[in-house]
């Protein structure tokens, strides 16, 4: 029986936070991505772009974190169910890693667009 199914919202929130904490403790890539997201937030606080830029950059950064968490979950499950080398499992893991790469590339594109916007705004103000 699944103890998580039909649990209260506070219980489900606790499960999610426990998973996030575990991944942050054990996954170097997630630690780096979370640090970059925190630096992004500090940068947004300093540069004070408009709310749309806050939304775009935070959504892009959150997508990277979510993709990395999915990647971690897939890798852990695959390793648990099939610990020996397997070409098909390798493809699954590679696809999950590719999802992180795509999300990170999108986040970099949003960051670059923000930088171009800020340079254009500061150039027209002077």
Quick: pLDDT tens for 16-62: 999 999 999 999 999 999 999 999 999 999 989 999 999 999 999 99
C-alpha atoms less than 13 angstroms from C-alpha of 17 in its C-beta half-sphere = 6
How much is the mean pLDDT over the chain? 92
Residue 25 to residue 80: CA distance in whole angstroms? 19
Stated pTM of the model: 0.87
In contact, 68 and 33? CB cutoff 8 Å: yes
> Looking at residues 79-108, what average pLDDT do you find?
95
List C-alpha distances in Å: 23 to 52, 75, 109.
Answer: 30, 12, 26
Residue 17 to residue 14: CA distance in whole angstroms? 5
Residue with tokens 């408009």: 50
Domains and CATH numbers, the chain: 30-125 (1.10.287.3610)
């Amino acid at each position: 029986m699944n103890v998580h199914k039909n649990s209260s919202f506070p219980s489900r929130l606790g499960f999610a936070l426990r998973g996030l904490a575990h991944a942050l403790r054990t996954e170097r890539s997630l630690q780096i991505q979370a640090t970059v997201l925190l630096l992004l937030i500090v940068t947004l606080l300093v540069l004070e772009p408009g709310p749309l830029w806050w939304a775009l950059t935070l959504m892009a950064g959150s997508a990277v974190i979510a993709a990395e968490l999915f990647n971690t979950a897939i890798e852990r499950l695959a390793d648990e169910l099939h610990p020996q080398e397997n070409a098909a499992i390798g493809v699954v893991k590679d696809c999950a890693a590719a999802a992180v790469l795509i999300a990170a590339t999108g986040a970099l594109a949003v960051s670059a667009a923000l930088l171009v916007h800020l340079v254009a705004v500061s150039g027209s103000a002077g």
